[in-house]
């Protein structure tokens, strides 16, 4: 098989840099280079060169900064995942987890680039910062990638695509390079982008600089020599004095800022003095200020107060005597190390920090964290605003829709949060998700830069179990509301089923319209409410059947009103007594003269389905039919007595029931509950504060009511109180 095109360039590059830097893993770089050359074999650059020439050039730029094997290998592989059929797992298998992670980071940045037209540039910048804050080597590869693309931008045929790339370079990549202190890279990016965007302005300024250089011939070397003489005379040690014309872009920006023509700009030259020690910087400054006239307002001490990107230098501006043009010059004074950091920024830190630690991922270096802090506290006009925003961003995660729209979610958000953010209906119907093209679980956490695609199903419904992992308020609220509605529906269905069953037990065929008389008789607002009341136990299904078909109640066996069934029972206040005598409502099915008691375990009230338990010598104790104390008598069925309430008997409110009120605790809670009770003419006999959690509390109430109908009304009124979440009749 023929070797892939451009392989010779790969081989040449790998052998050259491995020789120059023995720390590098020559074998790994060669494997990465070969693999990339084969992966890109069918592609060509717009200038007709084999595609692999581009990754090699990017790797070359980074090798120039003496970066590590992983970064250079990432540069060689940086377009493989995005532009060929080879996917990340293969990169990981071949080159290890660290390189795979870096390549993945660069791929994510490329994705941001593609959609930058859709969102605002400044916002993009922040996303970019966030996406790279984990490992700045990703950003370095991206910057080198952009630099090579800018160097070869002339070969891109479409003017609008050239323009967009240049704009993006100026708005995003050059400022990023500056933020991490890479002055040289920033200047080159700016110059290339400026030349593309404003070719006329660039040509004019460049021409003018050439003209000035030509006309005054050796003016830069001449001034360099003059500065050296000044330092010598004052006995200041120095390593180097170097002059240069400022970059066309920085001159143009100054022209814009000061609104002057090029002719009006006198300081287009800058000189740099490199000295051995920090203290020499101030000595050199003293000598310069002593020899020349200082331009007011131009002196800056970035040594005692470094720029946020770590830049250190003394800056001053002076007037050179005896010259008409170009009389003002800028002078920068710094040590060799300060110079290195100024030119190479992040990469310089990398060089200085190399050694045994170099093999570790960059995130383990504390200065990477420090650098991220620098990125987050850029000194721009709205610094305060900006830095608080970025502080917040650590609590956020940014993801993309398949169309490239940006979505902001709380940290640790899941695909379900994402789905609800897109639209509540998307959330409801969500059944699965793909992150960066791979199926994930719904509770998996999203990461910065993830592209998320939600899979929905027609008629899909939210799962209350999602509440355990969703992070966004929107998703929580929506799922919770759904869960409550579902619970309510379930309760309604339970109530309906109980009534249907009661109908069947009485030999009746259930029809909803047969319930109409019962709704009226039991004073319900409608069939639905009645279903709920049955489910919650406030009304029994048998009551409903009997209310609908009063004839089913069977022969009336009224008890003679005797002393036993008159008077007011003081239930709940009789202290140790387990049962209380003297019922207020007549009971059918009890032989006259038998003593009646109401069980304290279940507090039966008129309307409840009841049963009597005969106790020799004590009489009959009335329990509700669902009271679980009845289990104790299951071995002696002969003690059960079939009893019922006398129909139509409306006694005074004398039967105690116990209610549990779940409510949001607030200053009005107790008074509105008390009002509701008195409004219904019920009597509160006991009140206890139960479980308390956060804002919520339980109230346990003992209330005297007439019958179940009265109870239902009272419970309804209580439910209407502000802050009340639910009201239940306590069972046992
Ligand atoms: Mn590239």
Q: What angle do CA 549, 535, 476 make, to 5 degrees?
A: 150
What distance in Å separates the CA atoms of residue 203 and residue 400, rounded to the nearest whole number?
40
Name the DSSP letter for residue 591: -
Backbone angles phi, psi at 89, to 5 degrees: -55, -35
Angle among Cα 199, 204, 205 to the nearest 5 degrees reads 100
pLDDT greater at residue 50 or residue 546: 50
- For 644, the enclosing helix (H) or strand (E) is strand 644-645
Q: Please give the full DSSP string across 705-727, using - where no structure is assigned.
A: ESSHHHHHHHHHHHHTSTTEEEE
Query: Average pLDDT of 606-613?
Result: 84
Closest by CA position to 370, among listed 312, 311, 310, 302: 310
Mean pLDDT score, 241-254? 84
**Mean pLDDT lowest among 195-199, 243-247, 287-291:** 243-247
pLDDT band (50, 70, 90) for residue 352: very low
What pLDDT is attached to residue 150? 95
CA gap 329, 499 in Å, rounded? 97
pLDDT interval class at 286 (50, 70, 90): very high
Q: Which of 349, 370, 274 is nearest to 65 (CA)?
A: 349
Better-predicted residue by pLDDT, 415 or 673:
415
SS3 content of the chain, % helix, strand, coil (to 5): 50, 15, 35
Exactly one of 21, 25, 60, 82 is catalytic; which is it? 82
Share of the chain above pLDDT 90, in %: 23
Residue with tokens 């040594």: 303
Is 537 in contact with 732 (CB distance < 8 Å)?
Answer: no
Which range is most confident: 76-80, 167-171, 528-532, 723-727? 76-80
**Judging by beta carbons within 10 Å of its beta carbon (0-12, 13-18, 19+), is residue 594 exposed, middle or buried?**
middle
The number of angstroms, rounded, from the C-alpha of 339 to the middle of its chain's C-alpha atoms is 40
Rounded to an integer, the average pLDDT of 36-61 is 93
Tell me which H or E stretch contains 656. strand 655-664
Higher pLDDT, 641 or 617: 641
Average pLDDT on 327-355 reads: 73
- Beta-carbon contacts of 615 under 8 Å, excluding residues fewer than 6 positions away, are 621, 639
Q: Which of 670, 664, 660, 672 is nearest to 703 (CA)?
A: 660
**Distance from the alpha carbon of residue 424 to the mean position of ligand 1, in angstroms:** 38
| Residue 219 vs residue 63, higher pLDDT | 63
**Which tokens hold the place of 44?**
């060509």
Q: Which residues pair with 269 in a beta bridge?
A: 245
Whether 594 contacts 619, CB under 8 Å: yes
Known catalytic residue: 83?
Answer: yes
Residue holding tokens 């209350």?
A: 464
Expressed in angstroms and rounded, the spacing between residue 76 Cα and the centre of ligand 1 is: 9
117 is catalytic: no
| Residue 294: predicted pLDDT | 87
Please give the pLDDT value at position 685: 82
Which of 21, 49, 60, 83 is catalytic? The answer is 83
Q: How far apart are CA 77 and CA 59, in angstroms?
A: 9
Residues near ion ligand 1 (CB < 5 Å) are 79, 145
Average pLDDT estimate for 664-684 = 83
Q: Is residue 559 scored above 50 in pLDDT?
A: no
Confidence of residue 649 (pLDDT cuts 50, 70, 90): low
Contact call for residues 140 and 346 (beta carbons, < 8 A):
yes
Q: 449 - beta bridge partners?
A: none
Helix (H) or strand (E) holding 697: strand 696-705
CA distances from residue 500 to 112, 240, 357 in whole angstroms, order as listed? 61, 100, 76
On whether the CB atoms of residues 402 and 453 are closer than 8 A, the answer is yes
5 or 119, which is more confident = 5
Cα dihedral 58, 61, 65, 66 in deg (nearest 10): 70
CA of 242 to the centre of ligand 1 (A): 35
Distance from the alpha carbon of residue 665 to the mean position of ligand 1, in angstroms: 61
Using H for helix, E for strand and C for coil, what is the string for 514-556? HHHHHHHHCCCCCHHHHHHHHHHCCCCHHHHHHHHCHHHHCCC
| Minimum mean pLDDT range among 341-345, 386-390, 468-472, 557-561 | 386-390
- Reported as a pLDDT band with limits 50, 70 and 90, residue 366 is very low
Examine the pLDDT at 73 and tell me if it is beyond 50.
Answer: yes
For helices 183-197 and 248-258, give the axis angle rounded to 10 degrees. 70
Tallying the residues shown for the chain, one arrives at: 732
Ligand 1 centroid to Cα of residue 166, in Å, is 15
Q: pTM of the full predicted structure?
A: 0.51
Predicted confidence (pLDDT) per residue in 380-402, tens digit: 333 322 332 333 345 677 777 88
**Residue 141 Cα to ligand 1 middle (Å):** 9
Range 458-485 average pLDDT: 88
Please write the tens of the pLDDT for every residue from 427-436: 999 999 999 8
Query: In sequence order, what are the residues at sequence separation of 6 or more whose Cβ sits closer than 8 angstroms to the Cβ of residue 24?
Result: 17, 18, 68, 69, 72
Average pLDDT over the chain reads 79
Angle at 41 between CA 36 and CA 43, to 5 degrees: 105
**Range with top average pLDDT, 10-24, 161-175, 316-330, 608-622:** 10-24
* Two structure tokens written together for 166: 């240049």
Highest mean pLDDT among 118-122, 276-280, 595-599, 682-686: 276-280
Q: Read off the pLDDT of residues 136-155 as tens digits, 9 standing for 90 and up.
A: 788 889 999 999 999 999 99
Ligand 1 centroid distance, CA of 123 (Å) = 23
**pLDDT band, residue 729 (cuts 50/70/90):** confident
Ligand 1 mean position, distance from CA 250 (Å): 27
- Tens digit of each residue's pLDDT (9 = 90 or more) over 221-246: 888 999 999 999 999 999 999 988 88
Q: Ligand 1: distance of its center to the CA of 49 in Å?
A: 14
């Amino acid at each position: 098989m023929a070797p892939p095109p451009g392989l010779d360039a790969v081989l040449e590059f790998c052998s050259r840099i491995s020789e120059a830097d023995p720390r590098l893993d020559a074998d790994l770089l060669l494997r990465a280079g070969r693999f990339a050359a084969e992966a890109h074999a069918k592609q060509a650059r717009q200038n007709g060169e084999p595609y692999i020439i581009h990754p090699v050039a990017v790797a070359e730029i980074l090798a120039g900064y003496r970066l590590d094997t992983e970064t250079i290998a990432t540069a060689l592989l940086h377009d493989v995942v995005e532009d060929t059929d080879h996917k990340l797992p293969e990169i990981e298998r071949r080159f290890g987890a660290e390189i795979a992670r870096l390549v993945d980071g660069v791929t994510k940045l490329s994705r941001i680039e593609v959609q930058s037209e859709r969102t605002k540039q400044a916002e993009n910048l922040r996303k970019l910062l966030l996406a790279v804050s984990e490992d700045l080597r990703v950003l370095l590869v991206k910057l080198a990638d952009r630099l090579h693309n800018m160097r070869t931008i002339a070969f891109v045929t479409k003017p609008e695509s050239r323009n967009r790339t240049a704009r993006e370079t100026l708005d995003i990549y050059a400022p990023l390079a500056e933020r991490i202190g890479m002055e040289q890279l920033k200047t080159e990016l700016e110059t290339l982008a400026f030349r593309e965007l404003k070719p006329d302005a660039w040509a004019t300024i460049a021409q003018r600089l050439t003209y000035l250089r030509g006309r005054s011939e050796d003016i830069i070397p001449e001034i360099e020599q003059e500065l050296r003489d000044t330092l010598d005379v004052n006995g200041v040690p120095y390593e180097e004095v170097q002059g240069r014309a400022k970059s066309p872009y920085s001159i143009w920006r100054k022209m814009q800022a000061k609104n002057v023509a090029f002719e009006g700009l006198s300081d287009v030259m800058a000189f740099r003095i490199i000295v051995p020690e920090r203290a020499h910087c101030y000595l050199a400054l003293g000598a310069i200020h002593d020899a020349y006239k200082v331009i007011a307002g131009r002196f800056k001490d970035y040594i005692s107060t470094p720029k946020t990107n770590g830049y250190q230098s003394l800056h001053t501006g002076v007037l050179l005597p005896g010259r008409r043009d170009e009389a003002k010059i800028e002078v920068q004074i710094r040590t060799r190390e300060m110079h290195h950091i100024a030119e190479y920024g992040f990469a310089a830190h990398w060089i200085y920090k190399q050694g045994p630690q170099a093999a570790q991922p960059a995130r383990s270096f504390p200065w990477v964290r420090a650098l991220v802090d620098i990125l987050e506290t850029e000194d721009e006009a709205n610094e305060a605003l900006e830095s608080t925003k970025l502080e917040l961003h650590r609590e956020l995660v940014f993801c993309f829709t398949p169309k490239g729209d940006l979505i902001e979610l709380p940290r640790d958000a899941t695909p379900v949060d994402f789905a609800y953010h897109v639209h509540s209906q998307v959330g409801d119907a969500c059944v699965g998700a793909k992150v960066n093209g791979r199926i994930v679980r719904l509770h998996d956490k999203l990461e910065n830069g993830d592209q998320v695609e939600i899979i929905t199903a027609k008629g899909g419904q939210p799962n209350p179990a999602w509440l355990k992992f969703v992070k966004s308020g929107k998703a929580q609220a929506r799922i919770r509301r759904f869960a409550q509605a579902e619970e309510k529906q379930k309760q309604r269905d339970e109530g309906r089923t109980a009534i249907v069953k009661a109908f069947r037990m009485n030999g009746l065929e259930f029809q909803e319209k047969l319930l109409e008389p019962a709704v009226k008789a039991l004073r319900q607002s409608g069939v639905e409410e009645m279903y709920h009341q049955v489910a919650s136990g406030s009304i029994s299904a048998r009551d409903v059947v009997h209310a609908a078909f009063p004839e089913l109640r069977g022969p009336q066996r009224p008890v003679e009103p005797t002393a036993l069934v008159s008077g007011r029972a003081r239930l709940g206040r009789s202290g140790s007594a387990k049962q209380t005598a003297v019922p207020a409502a007549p009971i059918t099915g009890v032989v006259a003269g038998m003593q009646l008691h109401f069980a304290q375990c279940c507090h039966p009230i008129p309307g409840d389905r009841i049963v009597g338990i005969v106790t020799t010598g004590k009489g009959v104790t009335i329990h509700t039919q669902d009271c679980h104390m009845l289990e104790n008598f299951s071995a002696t069925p002969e003690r059960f007595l079939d009893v019922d309430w006398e129909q139509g008997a409306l006694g005074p409110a004398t039967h105690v029931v116990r209610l549990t009120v779940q409510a949001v605790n607030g200053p009005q809670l107790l008074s509105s509950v008390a009002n509701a009770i008195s409004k219904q003419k019920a009597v509160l006999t006991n009140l206890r504060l139960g479980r308390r959690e956060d804002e919520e509390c339980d109230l346990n109430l003992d209330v005297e009511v007439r019958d179940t109908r009265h109870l239902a009304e009272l419970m309804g009124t209580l439910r209407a109180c502000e802050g009340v979440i639910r009201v239940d009749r306590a069972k046992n």
